Amino acid sequence: MVGAGPSGCRTAEIIAREGYEVLILEEHPKIGEPVQCTGLVSKRIGKIPKSIILNKIEKARFFCGENFFEIDSKEPMFVLDRRNYDLWLAERAKKAGAEIKTSTRFIDLKNGIIFTTKGKFQTKILVGADGPNSSVAKKARIKQPENLFFALQVKVKSTFDDNSVELHFGSNIAPSGFAWIVPENEKIARVGLMSNKNPNNYLETFLKKRFGKIEFHEKIGDVLRFGIIEKSVKGNVLLVGDSACQIKPFSGGGLVYNKICSEVAGKAIVKALEEENFSEKFFIENYDKKWKEKLIWPIRKGLILKWIFSNFSSPTAFSIVRNFGLTKIAGWLDVDFLKK
């Protein structure tokens, strides 16, 4: 298993629970660092410790310039402590029997031998849970979609409505994407944006326009790869999570989709070990096709929603969406654009 993020740890836990040996390789020295996403999730994330939940959100405001409208979420959204969420999942994997090696970078896979910066390891199955620029995908020659977003986020201190998130659209705000303000409480919020270019310049402009002169800290950046991967397996190699583009094309959120696909991957691997079948055909049938049965349509509808909001910057488009009703659009697409 390459990558000790949520996808890697959830998959590893499922396999280790059945008594099989699982080794997780993590290139960073600490689990959960650097932080990878905003951490706004729905209840579909499942049961998690209350100590990891920093805030609950019930409203969203959609802005286009100075105009905005507000909607209520059907269910409260949770703002997570992302670092501790990752640590919690890693501890679950270890308690199930998985071993985690940090500061260990994957280099290559040849004839069932994994080459790393900390030595060689033999494996029957390799899982790449190593993100949008997956080294495992490159070495296994699994082609990933080429669609990329660049995300940047900081924390700011100000005064916030801690029950509401703000989503700001417009080509002058974040080309092909949007900016967000997600409060942790009444005084601190996560402020960021994702776009197809120059996120640093656009974020600086957004911060100045929204807050004036303000100090920020904990600056983090990430690359988001989205779309529909043609095939998430090659031989006995599987991609899970962001490496397989198992994310929402509209918001870039992946925690819920990652959870769904990690469970499918874990069960498929357990079955493969039980049957001693490690063929590509087996993993296509038991993993690739099964996770796509669950998510291929939601991802396609997410691409439609992304297209709608990419044209959201003009006053005319904003008026159409507002008058038609954002909730109607979301309902038709069966997509909750807030849920990550």
Q: Quick one: pLDDT at residue 233? A: 98
Return the residue matching tokens 């949008």: 132
Q: Quick one: pLDDT at residue 334? A: 47
Cβ density class 95-124: b for 16+ within 10 Å, e for less: ebbbebeeebebeebeeeebebeeeebebe
- Tell me: cis bond preceding 34? Omega within 30 of 0 counts: yes
Q: Quick one: pLDDT at residue 211? A: 92
Q: What angle do CA 305, 308, 314 make, to 5 degrees?
A: 150
Contacts of 59 (CB under 8 A, 6+ apart): 70, 71, 72, 73, 161, 163, 164, 165
CB-based contact 54:77 (threshold 8 Å): no
Q: Which CATH class is domain 6-333?
A: alpha beta
Domain ranges for the chain, please list them.
6-333
Is the dihedral angle over the CA atoms 308, 309, 311, 312 positive or is it negative? positive
Q: Quick one: pLDDT at residue 339? A: 38
CB-based contact 10:96 (threshold 8 Å): no
Tally of CA atoms within 13 A in the half-sphere of 2 that contains its CB: 33
CB-based contact 191:229 (threshold 8 Å): no
Average pLDDT of each block of 10 consecutive residues along the chain (340 residues)? Answer: 97 98 97 87 90 93 79 85 96 98 96 95 97 96 94 94 90 89 96 91 94 88 92 98 93 90 98 98 98 93 78 59 56 45
